Amino acid sequence: MNRESFLTTLGRNALLAALLGLVLFAALPRGDGVLWDYFDVFTLAFCFTLVGHYIEVLLLRLPGIDTGAGRFVRLAGWFAGGLWCYVIGRWLWIQYRRDLADLPGLLWGGVFLVGLELVLHAYLRAKGKPSFYGSSVVGSQ
């Protein structure tokens, strides 16, 4: 397994959260000001990108996770991890004095992380890197 530095992980996931924050900014209700609202949704997105990364790292340590029923375990792990990412994000949302009624229900955190991971792994697959969908390079059959 390729181990990268924490700063590399932090930078990549902060950039991804900044992009994901733009999507969430358009989808969630606004509060006091544009910059603070974006900061709030960036923080929420960052919970999913950074914690989600470490959930994936932990799941990859399980033997057989890439084959057979291991893929279902991986999906279930993403879902459960997404719930925890969302719990952290919702706690921060409260700390920012935002109303939890602005956010979807807790189960959507699991769905969101599963969707995010599937999109990110599709990107990895398109780049020819190992992913959830397999390790072969696109177009080499």
Round to whole Å and give the CA distance between 39 and 109: 19
Nearest to 49 by CA among 94, 3, 81: 81
Q: What SS3 state is found at 37?
A: helix
Q: What SS3 state is found at 137?
A: coil
φ and ψ at 120, to 5 degrees? -65, -35
pLDDT of residue 95: 94
Question: Residue 128 — left, alpha, or beta (φ > 0 → left; ψ -120 to 50 → alpha)?
Answer: left
pLDDT of residue 2: 59
Amino acid letter, residue 6: F
Query: Any idea where the domains of the chain sit in the sequence?
Result: 6-126
Please return the burial class of 31, using the count of CB atoms within 10 Å of its CB with bins 0-12, 13-18 and 19+. middle
pLDDT of residue 133: 84
Q: What SS3 state is found at 14?
A: helix
pLDDT of residue 135: 63
* Mean pLDDT of successive 10-residue stretches along the chain, which has 141 residues: 82 95 85 83 95 94 89 95 96 91 92 95 90 61 38
